[in-house]
A and B are shown apart, each in its own frame.
Chain A
Amino acid sequence: MVPVSALARNLLTSIVTVLAVIVFNFTLIHLAPGDPVTVMVGEMGGGDPELITRLQQQYGLDRPFAEQLFTYVLSVLTGDLGFSFYYNMPVLDLILQRLPATLLLVVSALCLAIVIGTALGVVAAQRPRGILSHLITVISIAGFSAPVFWVGIVLIIGLASALPIFPTSGMRDVTNIGAGIWGDTVDVAYHLVLPAFTLATVYLAQYSRLARSSMLEVLSADYVRTARAKGLPERLVVYKHALRNAVLPVVTIAGLQFGQVVAGAVLVETVFAWPGLGRLAYESILRRDSPTMLGILLFSAVIVIVANIVTDMVYRMIDPRIGARA
């Protein structure tokens, strides 16, 4: 169903994009004030200029910018993302350790937002002037307007503190070690509920509004009238003929939004002490840990690019008009 040539074209543009991202990020961080050596020396309790110069030489920070950039790009291409000054371990290992937690959080939140948002939008579109439709609009806008960290804190106070239903933070319970794969999965899922829901609230609104307007438009389309004229029950008219067309813009936005959701994860991971990339990013920025920062930015870019390729493929599968004759 998915043409190979389209996939190949996508991959080629992606490689170019990733290269551009690497160069851009490196330049940006180089231009930013602050120097990892200053932070290191500061943490050591101060040092003389001689030590600073020696450290700068040791890390190659005294070399010309072009040379530093070239060295970095070359090592990234060989799979070496450098060494974290702060965590004292290779950046690649550090990121791979944190990546699954972030992916789990982001994908769950996005799925929640898409499924609940689309469902709400579709319900609202059935009776666009009904009370339910207005209620959904109000809830959506409230969710969209509330700052994500605030939603997180309110949920912690409400559902973890006042009513201790869910854990306040972390991804696993320390007392749960050795519970086996099943026990571990349940534990992680239990810890995931609040952070995923918090992150989902922001994006839910956009999906419900988008699904509502898209559904309203589709419901007045000629082919929906045809479906009714065929004598099909309303259930098939709405959930087969209309919905399949109405989700097309939702899929597009889902792909575009993946990057924003990864960014939003930084706040949620901080509030819920979720051991993911977002928190790592936050900490590495505070420490001026540029290799880690660069590594995370590179991974975020790759995640977004992969998400867009997946979106493109999904879109091709849902809409036969795209690329079918390419």
Chain B
Amino acid sequence: MQPLLSIKDLRISFRSRTSQFAVLEDFDLDLQKGETVCLVGESGSGKTMTGLALMGLVPSPGFISNGAISFEGREMIAAGRNRAAEIRGKNIAMIFQEPMTALNPVFTIGEQIAEMLRYHEGLGRKAAIERAVELLRAVGIPEPEQRVHEYPHQISGGMRQRAMIAVALACSPQILIADEPTTALDVTVQAQILDLLEEVQERLGTTILLITHDMGVVADVADRVVVMYCGRKIEEGPAAEVLADPRHPYTSALLACIPRPDPEATTRMKLLDIPGIVPAASARPAGCAYAARCAFAFDKCRAERPPLFEVAEGRSAACWLASKEHSQ
């Protein structure tokens, strides 16, 4: 089956006066219709950059230096070319981490939804506002007739994220990119927003690319998970399998960091972390970028970067431990 969206060999580089370095490299990803894929990784792993690249919104001085992105078989973005504007907002929509700042403070919620419909679908002002009320109702905002005339500062954070989702859904996009949509919200509200995204997906068949650093969220909603580290994909597979049996030490470490309450414990639980820091994008080591923090690293890891090995049907991991020679 032809994927809805296909990323091939994507590289995003940043150029400064003296140097150029990549923040995302050798990145492949296929999104099928109606699935939820989670992009997981620490800050600086390239998750958000991937999302922005899909929208054609890589911030300057960053640019796509290699690779291609195609949507429904049509090439949208390749190095030096960018046709993302044609599908942006209409076919692919994005919601962001901070609902506090992602909405424009000087326009009403209704106006911010309605302008999508007026611009992309040529609706009149009145019809667009009526649709906006419907959209607000659909994302679970109470009294939508009233809220539509209110400004972002007049509603709560959770409501703002719902309004943001209504903006994103205005033109019924096939793909919704959600960049850490729950990070800035209260825990109770987080679950509501995730439920809302799942409900939207069931109703509209939307493909969701969820960017997160929270393995709990992955366990909750993901069909497939892509783990990223230092601008590269290091593990990919069906969420249930990856969570149950991670093949990359980094994925294992991420899973170990989730606090689990132990009723038997007599002492206070120790929170685990991954020792060391993520190397800067401008100073990445020659071998595996994770080697310096990895408990299993050996000489080859430091000398040579492991490619993605297919470890099972639809599963891959970029680790020498996952290679065939090693398992033999």
Contacts and interface: CB of A to CB of B under 8 A. Distances in A.
Partners in one complex: yes
Interface of A: 221-223, 225-233, 236, 241, 244-245, 318-321, 324-325
A262 to B, nearest CB: 30
List of 4 A-B pairs having minimum Cβ-Cβ separation, nearest first: A231-B89, A231-B88, A222-B101, A223-B104
Interface in B146-181: 151, 153-154, 164, 167
Nearest to B85: A231
A86 B93 CA distance: 73
Contact of B89 (A221, A222, A225, A230): A230
A102 B66 CA distance: 63
A228 to B, nearest CB: 6
A231 B103 CA distance: 15
Nearest to A233: B119
A223 B90 contact: no
17 contacts: A222-B96, A223-B105, A227-B104, A228-B55, A228-B57, A229-B96, A230-B167, A231-B119, A231-B120, A232-B89, A233-B119, A244-B104, A320-B105, A320-B151, A320-B153, A321-B106, A325-B154
A265 B102 CA distance: 44
B101 A229 contact: no
Contacts of A245: 104-106
A126 to B, nearest CB: 12
A208 B193 CA distance: 43
B7 interface: no
A223 B89 contact: no
Highest count of chain B CB atoms <10 Å: which of A222, A226, A228, A241? A226
Contact of A236 (B87, B90, B119, B154): B119
Nearest to A229: B94
A222 B179 CA distance: 13
A226 B98 CA distance: 11
Contacts of A231: 85, 87-90, 116, 119-120
B103 A223 contact: yes
Given A230-B167, A232-B119, A319 B106 contact: yes
A15 B100 CA distance: 39
B201 to A, nearest CB: 19
A245 B101 CA distance: 13
Q: Please classify the interface of chain A as helix (H, G, I), strand (E, B), loop, or mixed, using the class held by over half of its residues.
A: helix
Contact of A229 (B55, B98, B105, B153): B55
B93 A229 contact: yes
Highest count of chain B CB atoms <10 Å: which of A229, A232, A245, A318? A229
Highest count of chain A CB atoms <10 Å: which of B93, B104, B116, B119? B104
B214 interface: no
B106 A244 contact: yes
Interface in B31-77: 55, 57
Given A229-B55, A324-B151, A318 B85 contact: no
A325 B154 CA distance: 9
A229 B90 CA distance: 10
B115 interface: yes
Interface in B77-114: 85, 87-90, 93-94, 96, 98, 101-108
Highest count of chain A CB atoms <10 Å: which of B57, B102, B164? B102
Highest count of chain B CB atoms <10 Å: which of A223, A227, A236, A245? A223
Highest count of chain B CB atoms <10 Å: which of A231, A320, A325? A231
Nearest to A321: B153
A324 B154 contact: yes
A319 B107 CA distance: 9
Given A223-B105, A225-B96, A321-B106, 10 more contacts: A226-B102, A226-B103, A229-B93, A230-B89, A230-B119, A231-B85, A232-B119, A241-B104, A244-B107, A321-B105
A72 to B, nearest CB: 46
A56 B85 CA distance: 81
A223 B102 contact: yes
A232 B106 contact: no
Nearest to B105: A321
A20 to B, nearest CB: 35
A244 B115 CA distance: 15
B173 to A, nearest CB: 10
Highest count of chain A CB atoms <10 Å: which of B94, B105, B120? B105
A230 B116 contact: yes
Contacts of A236: 115, 119
A222 B167 CA distance: 15
Given A223-B101, A321-B151, A229 B106 contact: no
Contacts of B151: 320-321, 324
Given A320-B151, A324-B151, A226 B90 contact: no
Nearest to A220: B59
A73 B153 CA distance: 46
